[in-house]
Every structure is written in C-alpha cells, then in structure tokens.
C-alpha cells in the first residue's frame, strides 16, 4: 500500500488520513485519540457504519443481536478473526436490535450476517455463525492483498 488511506474513527466517526506505511503502527484518531486500526472488533452505529464502509481499508461487519444465541457464540471467533486480519482489514459489529433501521438498509434477512465493505461497495456476504478460520478465509478470498 502506498499513499494516504482514509479511515473513519469507530469511536467518534471522524474521517482521518493515515499514511499507508503507518497503518500497522497503531494510528490514532486526530480528534479523539482512539485507535484507528487495533485488531479489535469495533461497535458501530448506523451513521459511523455508513462512513466507515467507504474507507480505503476493507471493513467486515457482523450484524447481530444480544438475544441471538449463534451471534453470541460467534463473538469470540469474530474477535479472533479481527486479530488475524489486522492491520489490513478492520472488523466491526452493529446491534440490529438497537439499530433496527440498519437491518432494512443492508437487507439483513437473518443473523448473524457478515458483510464485507471496501471503498463504499459491498464486496461479499456470509450468513450464519462461523469459526475464526472460516471468517479469515472468506475475507482473504474476497480482498486482494
């Protein structure tokens, strides 16, 4: 990667420009100081998701709900995948119970549902709870580099 990458802060929603060679060095948001690429799963609201889906790094989003057993079972696996895919891919989740409009906007028909976004486009979807290895393989199969 060369040049500057646009990354949206999951904490405050601010767009940041980060030199591509510094993505693995733990860049922080220029406004709130939160880590932009941490290897951890970020919790997003619909507006921040809308912004982050257009970022220069791929974003894998888990659409889930607290009452969903498979969603809760997959959460630790999703966290493992976040560590494995960092710093080249960021992982986030959005609570469809707290943000029901997100389900409609992204045509979520069942949860857990994973959607991979890159530069404003939906790249691929994966339905159902998966182990970390399957999540990592899914992303690597869809994202070049």
Q: Which helix (H) or strand (E) holds 18?
A: strand 15-19
Q: What is the dihedral of CA 54, 60, 66, 69, to 10 degrees?
A: 160
Catalytic residue from among 9, 12, 32, 71: 71
Catalytic residue from among 9, 29, 32, 68: 68
The whole-angstrom separation of Cα 38 and Cα 55 is 15
Is 68 an active-site residue? Answer: yes
Is residue 113 a contact partner of residue 127, using CB atoms and an 8 Å limit? Answer: yes
Nearest CA to 64 out of 106, 135, 6, 114 is that of 114
Is 32 an active-site residue? Answer: no
Strands ordered across the beta sheet of 59-64 = 42-43, 90-95, 59-64, 113-118, 121-127
Active-site annotation, residues: 68, 71
């Amino acid at each position: 990667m060369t040049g500057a990458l646009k990354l949206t802060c999951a904490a405050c929603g601010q767009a940041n420009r980060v030199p591509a060679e510094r993505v693995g060095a733990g860049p922080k948001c220029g406004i709130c100081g939160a880590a932009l690429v941490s290897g951890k799963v970020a919790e997003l609201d619909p507006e921040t998701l809308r912004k982050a889906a257009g970022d220069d790094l791929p974003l894998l989003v888990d659409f889930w709900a607290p009452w969903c057993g498979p969603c809760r079972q997959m959460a630790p696996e999703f966290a493992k995948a976040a560590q494995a895919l960092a710093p080249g891919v960021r992982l986030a989740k959005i609570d469809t119970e707290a943000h029901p409009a997100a389900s409609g906007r992204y045509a979520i028909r069942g949860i857990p549902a994973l959607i991979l976004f890159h530069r404003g486009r939906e790249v691929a979807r994966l339905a159902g709870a998966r182990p970390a290895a399957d999540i990592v393989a899914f992303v690597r199969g869809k994202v070049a580099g």
